[in-house]
Amino acid sequence: MRFLLDDEQREFARTLDGMLTAADTPAVVRAWASGDTTPGRALWARLAETGVFALAVPEEHDGLGALPVELAVAFTELGRHAVPGPVVETVAAAVFLERLGDEAPAAAWLPGIASGKTAASLCLLSPGSPYSPYSPYALDADTADAVFVVDGDTVRLAESTGPLQPSADPARRLSRPLGGTVLAKGPEVAAAAAHAADAAALATAAQALGLGRALLAQTVEYAKQRTQFGVAIGSFQAVKHRLADVLIALEFAQPLIHAAALALAAGDSSSGRQIAAAKVSACEAAYTAARTALQLHGALGYTEELNLSLWIRKARALRYAWGTPAACRARVLGSESDGRPYEPDRATQKGADG
Amino acid sequence: MDLDFTAAQDAFRAEARDWLAAHVPAAPLPSLETAEGFAAHRDWERTLFADRWSVVSWPEEYGGRGASILEWLIFEEEYYAAGAPGRVSQNGIHLLAPTLFEHGTDEQRARILPQMASGEVIWAQAWSEPESGSDLASLRSTAVRADGGWRLSGQKTWSSRAAFADRAFGLFRSDPDAGRPHQGLTYVMFPLDADGVTVRPIGRLDGKPAFAELFLDDVFVPDEEVIGEPGQGWRVAMSTAGNERGLTLRSPGRFMAAADRLTALWRAQADAADSAVRDRVADAVIGVRAYQLFTYANASRIAAGGSIGAESSLNKVFWSELDIALHETALDLLGPYGELSDDADEAPEHGSWAEGYTFSLAGPIYAGTNEIQRDIIAERLLGLPKGRR
């Protein structure tokens, strides 16, 4: 056992971190929120060059193969820099198209996703199983090149979108996908959608981890610099202990993400439960980081002007994307084999024996 | 990156599982915080030792198997999954022994470790004093030079296991003129039945004498009872504190077993529509899995030549709070039975939830309070400035 990222994976993270640091992502995020996707798509192309999207595309479609651990490493960095756009949804769409088992749509879209030419969105209109996340909204559907809409055992390619429904995170542009043509129909659609949802939940968990780490780092820096009563506020125990709790939450979420990615890569039957555990832990840790960042920055943290707000607001939104906290917790305790929630045996219930 | 075990590790796990299946007492032993239970747990230590399962990570010459950290974690998983008894020798094995391995003499190791491994000598810790808890370096008990040894005087308290244990170890001020509080301290071992030692058991929250006050009145101990150099006790002890908070004090195995029992209890007892309790059970299961994986990562780091320093404080806060939450959830699931003391005839599961709950409440206090741990995390891991405690 060597449950540590290897040198190559760490180097990949460093490369992305360096590239995104230099890219001034806050300006890109603000432009994206205002509807100007040009800087965002330029950044998208650069991310594609590093192989981020190819990690979800098999080699026969110009990808690098499905590499969940590397994907988790990449999405942690995307989250650290609050990268805007349907990054998670594009990866989910790639997994969906590959799993569909139909060569034509895979050949039509996967090479473009791998190369960064295609930004896709995907939404599940109805739950395929008690645990599968669903939402009437597709992320960034107004600007995506392809929007896949799964409703039960049918998938269609949306034609247009309804009016924008502003999210708590303005960089997340939500709308209802409308109309379109049926792309495929059958049980394989629901099965592929379940795989896509798992990939999306794992990527979201990794994104949340990076988001939380960035919120913690920015807040620690602020607590060292901001002085009150003649000393740095970071010397006060009430401040220290909140920050310590954020670090604890993040440090214990990280191995859940890596183990879930390993399980997904191995096709382990417990991967769904492990992903759910990682999703709820990472998103709750990021949310704790956001609440702490807000509180410790004081009134400054409550402003939209401060770039910190880009991270704070995304932390809230990610809790609901691709699996609410309650759905994730239910899944953790659910049956591994059939994906259905546990049905208690009434005979063993208290009261049955008087 | 992988989470795979080798064939040898799988074989080690199977061997441990088979041995435990054949030897773990069918009925739980009485609480180890009672005279009767302490004796029964001492016998259990002897049974473990006879087949070299009491100290698997120690070298063979002292009764161990030279097991790696990962093998030790495997053993612990199997140990608690088998429902094996608590370890009455815990303080000696996890606090004193690492100090002896690092700072002791060959003579001390040969004299002390085998008897510790067999349960023949059970150790209590003697760190805290009435005026020195979190601020341990302010301690006032003294060690005064005597012919061929030292004379110990003062008062120790919250000494776990001391009510029934044989010997104790702790810090004493040997140089009152040293410049700073943590200088001039000496690490000393002493028998609890020596002339001048008075042990007053203290009932913990549920009344069981889990710890004690120790009064030392001019107690003579020979030089061979000092670990490391006189005056260097703080440095010697801190290497122990790191061990205590780090990987070895509370292994994931014990919490994995508790989470499995909690899940079974929930499946048997809970209203499936009660999502509030379901969420708490899920959080316990998730937390335990996170702790297991975090520990595997730490073990991998150590195996790769790294070390665990202040990071061990993350561990300590996490498992201690997880343990309480897990047991609270179980007691809530038991409804009116959750009120019963562990020694009530009708206490569910032989009172193990009530006993475990009481034990868990001490977690955030001992081995460095969680407030101290959070200070360590903030200052050493996050780089925040030191301030007033």
pLDDT in tens, A296-315: 999 999 999 999 999 999 99
Q: Cβ contacts (< 8 Å) between A223 and chain B: which residues? A: 384
One of B244, B311, B339, B371 is an active-site residue; which one? B244
Question: How many Cβ atoms from other residues are within 10 Å of residue B133's Cβ?
Answer: 16
Nearest to A245 by CA among B287, B378, B18, B243: B378
* Chain B, nearest residue to A222 by Cα: B384
Query: How high is the mean pLDDT of chain A?
Result: 93
Phi, psi of B151 (to 5 degrees): -115, 120
Question: What percent of chain A is modeled with pLDDT above 90?
Answer: 90
Distance CA B175, CA B386 (A): 27
pLDDT confidence band for B309 (50 / 70 / 90): confident
Residue partners of B325: CB distance under 8 A and separation at least 6: B280, B283, B284, B287
Q: What's the pLDDT score for residue A143?
A: 94
Say how many C-beta atoms besides its own lie within 10 A of residue A269's C-beta: 10
Cβ-nearest to A247 among B290, B314, B385: B314
Q: Tell me the percentage of chain A whose pLDDT exceeds 70.
A: 94
- Whose CA is closest to B330, among B287, B268, B275, B273? B268
pLDDT at B26: 92
Residue type, B38: F
3-state secondary structure labels for all residues of B296-342:
HHHHHHHHCCCCCCCCHHHHHHHHHHHHHHHHHHHHHHCHHHHHCCC
The whole-number pLDDT of residue B122 equals 98
pLDDT at B240: 60
Query: What φ, ψ does residue A8 adopt, rounded to 5°?
Result: -65, -40
- Total residue count of chain B as it appears in this document: 389
Residue A126: both structure tokens together: 């109805």
Res B47 pLDDT > 60: yes
Q: What string of DSSP letters covers A168-217?
A: SSTTSEEE-EE--EEEEESHHHHHHHHHHHHHHHHHHHHHHHHHHHHHHH
The four Cα atoms B364, B369, B375, B381 give a dihedral, to 10 degrees, of: -60
Residue A65 located in a structural domain: no
**Residue A5 domain-assigned (yes or no):** no
Rounded CA separation A43/A24 (Å): 10
Do A3 and B281 lie within an 8 Å CB cutoff?
no
**Contact: B268, A223; criterion CB under 8 Å:** no
Record the tokens describing residue B309, joined without a space: 């320093």
Rounded distance, CA B15 to CA B108, Å? 32
Largest CA distance in chain A: 69
Q: Are strands B167-173 and B123-126 parallel, antiparallel or unpaired?
A: parallel
Question: How many CB atoms are closer than 10 A to CB B61?
Answer: 11
Contact yes or no for A237 and B384 at CB 8 A: no
Q: What domains are there in chain B, each with its CATH number?
A: 7-118 (1.10.540.10), 123-233 (2.40.110.10), 246-381 (1.20.140.10)
Averaged pLDDT for residues B150-160: 97
Interchain contact, B378 vs A3, CB within 8 Å:
no
Residue B344: predicted pLDDT: 95
pLDDT at A66: 86
Element of type H or E holding B142: strand B142-146
* Residue to test with chain A: of B269, B279, B281, B382, most A Cβ within 10 A: B382
The confidence score (pLDDT) of residue A352 equals: 30
In chain B, residues with a C-beta closer than 8 Å to the C-beta of A350 are: 268-269, 335
Range of the domain at A230: 197-333
- Mean pLDDT, residues A229-243: 97
In A, which residues are within 8 Å of B303 by CB distance?
Answer: 2
Q: Is the pLDDT of residue A343 over 60?
A: no
Which residue has better confidence, B316 or B248? B316
**Partner-chain contact B385 A234, CB within 8 Å:** yes
Question: Taking the complete model, does pTM exceed 0.90, yes or no?
Answer: yes
Cβ B301–A4 below 8 Å, yes or no? yes
How large is the average pLDDT for residues B337-353?
94
Asked, for residue A176, whether it belongs to a domain, the answer is no
Instruction: State the CATH number of the domain containing residue A216.
Output: 1.20.140.10
Query: Quick check: A30 pLDDT over 70?
Result: yes
Residue B369 has a pLDDT of 95
Flag whether pLDDT at A344 surpasses 50: no
B33: annotated active-site residue:
no
Which residues in chain A have Cβ-Cβ distances shorter than 8 Å to B70? 1
State the best of B1, B134, B281 to mutate against chain A, taking most chain A CBs within 10 Å. B1
- Angle of helix B275-303 relative to helix B312-333, nearest 10 degrees? 150
A76 pLDDT above the threshold of 50: yes
**pLDDT tens per residue across span A172-190:** 999 999 999 999 999 999 9
Which residues make Cβ contacts (< 8 Å) with residue A184, sequence separation at least 6?
A100, A102, A105, A154, A155
* Residue A57 belongs to a domain: no
More confident: B308 or B224: B224
Distances (CA, A) of A227 to A191, A234, A297: 55, 8, 12
Which of B3, B286, B386 is the best mutation test for A, with the most CBs of A within 10 A?
B286
Residue A321 lies in a domain: yes
Instruction: With respect to residue A168, please indicate whether it lies within any of the assigned structural domains.
Output: no
The more confidently predicted of residues A318 and B245 is A318
State mean pLDDT over B168-195: 95
Mutation for testing the B interface, residue in A2, A228, A246, A274 having most B CBs under 10 Å: A2
**Helix/strand number for chain A, H first, E second:** 11, 11
CB contact under 8 A, A237 and B287: no
B290/A241 CB distance under 8 A:
no
Does the residue A184 lie in any domain? no
Q: Which residues of A touch B386 (CB under 8 A)?
A: 235
Average pLDDT, integer, range A216-245: 98
Average pLDDT over residues B206-234: 96
Please identify which residue in the block is written with the tokens 């981020």. A52
User: Which of A235, A245, A253 minimises the CB distance to B384?
Assistant: A235
> B19 to chain A nearest CA, in Å?
24
The C-alpha torsion from B168 through B174 and B179 to B180, rounded to 10°, is 10
For residue A328, list chain B residues with Cβ-Cβ distance below 8 A: 282
Complex prediction ipTM: 0.95
Q: Is A342 helix (H, G, I), strand (E, B) or coil?
A: coil
Taking contacts as CB-CB distances below 8 angstroms, the residues of chain B near A330 are: 275, 278, 282
Q: How confident is the model at residue A339 (pLDDT cuts 50, 70, 90)?
A: very low
* Helix segments in B150-308, DSSP class H: 233-245, 252-269, 275-303
Q: Which residue has the higher pLDDT, B50 or B180?
A: B50
Mean pLDDT of all residues in B263-285? 92
Q: Which of B272, B278, B294 sits opposite A252 (nearest CB)?
A: B294
Residue A80 belongs to a domain: no
The pLDDT confidence band at residue B243, using thresholds 50, 70 and 90, is: low
Range A279-305 average pLDDT:
97
**Residue the block writes with tokens 């994995």:** B256
Closest residue in chain B to residue A335, using alpha carbons only: B267
Facing A330 at nearest CB: one of B278, B371, B379: B278
- What is the number of domains present in chain A? 1
Tell me the nearest-neighbour CA distance from A256 into chain B, angstroms.
6
Q: Which of B2, B4, B290 sits opposite A252 (nearest CB)?
A: B290
CB half-sphere exposure, B331, CA atoms < 13 A: 20
Read off the pLDDT of each residue in B59-66 and give the average, rounded to a whole number: 96
Q: How many CB pairs under 8 A join A and B?
A: 163
Chain A residues in contact with B335 (beta carbon < 8 A): 350
Beta-carbon contacts of A19 under 8 Å, excluding residues fewer than 6 positions away, are A46, A50
Facing B3 at nearest CB: one of A239, A259, A350? A259
CB A234 within 8 A of CB A220: yes
Name every chain B residue with its beta carbon within 8 A of the beta carbon of A244: 317, 373-375, 377-378, 381-382
pLDDT score recorded for residue B299:
92
Query: Which of B2, B297, B378 comes nearest A262 by C-beta?
Result: B2
Q: Which residue of B has its CA nearest to A73?
A: B1
Cβ separation B389–A237 shorter than 8 A: yes
Supply the pLDDT for residue B245. 52
Q: Which two tokens stand for residue A55?
A: 């990690």
Mean model confidence pLDDT for chain B: 94
**Token pair listed for B245:** 């908070």
